[in-house]
């Protein structure tokens, strides 16, 4: 039982028709209301939502662990509803995942000493590796760092934050990073992903040479990074972060992808099935092509930043929002480094969002630069003069720009006492709580 806030209300109401059409068990994800035509409807802001079938699923997990999901009643209902709708899923598929399990992986990172981070010793951004898209944020920051080294962009001052030249550099770096990621990011157990090559200084410098400070780039092709040994050989989104008094942090994100995922609800289970397979490619030549028991390009990426001088925590953060996530990571981090903004200011600042790329569309992606209402008019006009196609997004549609949370850690240089600050995105229903 929980209170429904305004942010999720809009999504629930927009998804109601899809939930009803996708699953015979739609009533489990809607609110009981005897006044509704068929007795159920999407909940409204401020109302109480009950989900007793999900409570039963949680009890099974609590008592049986993952066996309570991948075997037994929940697994049987999951397979039954998928098969009843013409899908291909067997109990053996769930048993396979039960035994193989999710993998513990090592994060990938990039040391960033550009754009004013150097005087403080610089920072290191840590991201989830492929098949996740965290490498997009790392590559974009690496390209920006190389642009500064090459003298193609200045070390921007706080007054330059969200100016047209500043955003032009970010936009073009992200376009180059996405061009590579939408080709190379795939399941590393099946395809060779050149992580180290993509993040090598040599390759990032080559990609930076494609930047034109005076005009927007057009469709970008993926590059040809060196295929050195991968950094890892094998081995509707919710984000939160938690820290403790000793400077340890956990950065967590979870998602069923498109709103309520597939909208398909296993009977008596209280949840919808995800639709992450949408990010496979249907191109048989593509490293991320659809295949059995393979993980697709995955958008969810928790982030963490450490200080280069001593490895201590700088911040733990994340930005929900599909392909916006690495774009949000870059903008929120640079807001703190370049703009000298505190966590809440960094989250509140207007953002841009480009079409990150659908793996099967390649250069057919619309590279419109969506700009959040509140961006200075001179910035918008400057981007248009550079050749960018700009679309200003207002009102509740601003959810396009992601929803983030940040916890920042520092130590008072005189007292030696830990100092915490935090921010929670105004575009969502979250909050920052000291305990």
**pLDDT tens digits, 357-381:** 444 444 455 678 999 999 999 999 9
Domain limits, the chain: 2-100, 108-255+299-424
Q: Residue 422 has what DSSP assignment?
A: E
Q: Compute how many other C-beta atoms are within 10 angstroms of the C-beta atom of residue 111.
A: 16
Q: Which two tokens stand for residue 371?
A: 């700009």
207 membership: H or E segment, kind and range = helix 201-208
pLDDT number for residue 220: 73
Say if residues 282 and 290 touch (Cβ distance below 8 Å).
Answer: yes
pLDDT number for residue 9: 87
d(CA 141, CA 144): 5
Q: Which phi and psi angles does 391 have, rounded to 5°?
A: -130, 120
Task: Find, among 137, 89, 109, the residue nearest to 300 by Cα.
Answer: 137
pLDDT number for residue 433: 86
Tell me which residues of the chain have a pLDDT lower than 70: 118-119, 219, 226-236, 356-366
Whose structure tokens read 């939930």?
Answer: 19
304 membership: H or E segment, kind and range = strand 303-307
pLDDT number for residue 215: 93
Task: Find, among 330, 321, 326, the residue nearest to 397 by Cα.
Answer: 321
Checking 27-35 for CB contacts under 8 A at 24+ apart, the result is 28/53, 28/265, 28/267, 28/268, 28/269, 28/270, 29/260, 29/265, 29/270, 29/271, 29/272
- What SS3 class is residue 415? coil
Tell me the CATH number of domain 108-255+299-424, given options 3.30.70.20, 3.60.20.40, 1.10.10.10, 3.40.50.150: 3.60.20.40
Say if residues 410 and 239 touch (Cβ distance below 8 Å).
Answer: no
pLDDT number for residue 238: 85
Question: pLDDT tens for residues 202-213?
Answer: 999 999 999 999
> In 102-200, which residue ranges form alpha helices assigned H by DSSP?
134-149, 164-184, 195-198
Q: Which phi and psi angles does 139 have, rounded to 5°?
A: -65, -40
Q: Residue 158 has what DSSP assignment?
A: G
d(CA 98, CA 90): 13
* Pairing relationship of beta strands 390-393 and 369-372 according to DSSP bridges: parallel
Task: Find, among 384, 391, 349, the residue nearest to 369 by Cα.
Answer: 391
d(CA 68, CA 6): 33
- What SS3 class is residue 208? helix
pLDDT number for residue 365: 57
Question: What is the reported pTM?
Answer: 0.90
């Amino acid at each position: 039982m929980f209170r429904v806030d305004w942010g999720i209300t809009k999504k629930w109401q927009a998804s109601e028709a899809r939930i009803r059409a996708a699953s015979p068990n739609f009533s489990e994800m809607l609110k009981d209301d005897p006044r509704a035509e068929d007795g159920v409807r999407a909940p409204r802001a401020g109302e109480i939502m009950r989900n007793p079938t999900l409570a039963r699923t949680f009890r099974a997990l609590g008592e049986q662990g993952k066996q309570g999901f991948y075997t037994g009643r929940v697994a049987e209902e999951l397979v039954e509803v998928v098969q009843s709708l013409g899908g291909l899923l067997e109990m053996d598929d769930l048993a396979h995942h039960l035994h193989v399990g999710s993998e513990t992986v090592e994060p990938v990172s990039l040391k960033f000493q550009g754009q004013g981070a150097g005087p403080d010793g610089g920072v290191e951004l840590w991201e989830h590796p492929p098949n996740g898209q965290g490498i997009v944020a790392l590559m974009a920051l690496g390209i920006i760092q190389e642009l500064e080294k090459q003298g193609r962009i200045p070390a921007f001052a706080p007054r330059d934050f969200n100016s047209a030249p500043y955003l032009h550099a970010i936009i073009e770096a992200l376009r180059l990073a996405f061009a590579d990621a939408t080709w190379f990011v795939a399941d590393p157990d099946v395809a060779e992903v050149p992580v180290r090559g993509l993040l090598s200084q040599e390759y990032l410098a080559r990609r930076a040479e494609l930047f034109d400070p005076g005009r927007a780039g057009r469709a970008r092709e993926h590059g040809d990074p060196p295929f050195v040994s991968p950094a890892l050989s094998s081995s509707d989104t919710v984000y939160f972060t938690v820290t403790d008094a000793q400077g340890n942090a956990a950065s967590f994100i979870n998602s069923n992808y498109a709103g309520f995922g597939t909208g398909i609800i296993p009977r008596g289970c209280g949840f919808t099935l995800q639709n992450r397979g949408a990010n496979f490619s249907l191109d048989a030549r593509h490293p991320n092509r659809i295949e059995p028991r393979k993980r697709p390009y995955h958008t969810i990426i928790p982030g963490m930043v450490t200080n280069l001088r001593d490895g201590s925590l700088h911040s733990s953060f994340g930005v929900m929002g599909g392909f916006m996530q690495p774009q949000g990571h870059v903008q929120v981090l640079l807001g703190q480094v370049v703009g000298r903004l505190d966590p809440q200011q960094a989250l509140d600042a207007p953002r841009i969002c480009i079409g990150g790329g659908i793996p099967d569309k390649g250069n057919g992606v619309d590279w419109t630069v969506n700009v959040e209402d509140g961006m200075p008019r001179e910035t918008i006009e400057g981007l248009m003069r550079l050749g960018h196609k700009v679309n200003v997004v207002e009102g509740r549609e601003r959810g396009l720009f992601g929803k983030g949370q940040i916890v920042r850690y520092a130590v008072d240089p005189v007292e030696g006492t830990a100092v915490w600050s935090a921010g929670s995105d105004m575009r969502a229903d979250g909050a920052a709580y000291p305990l």
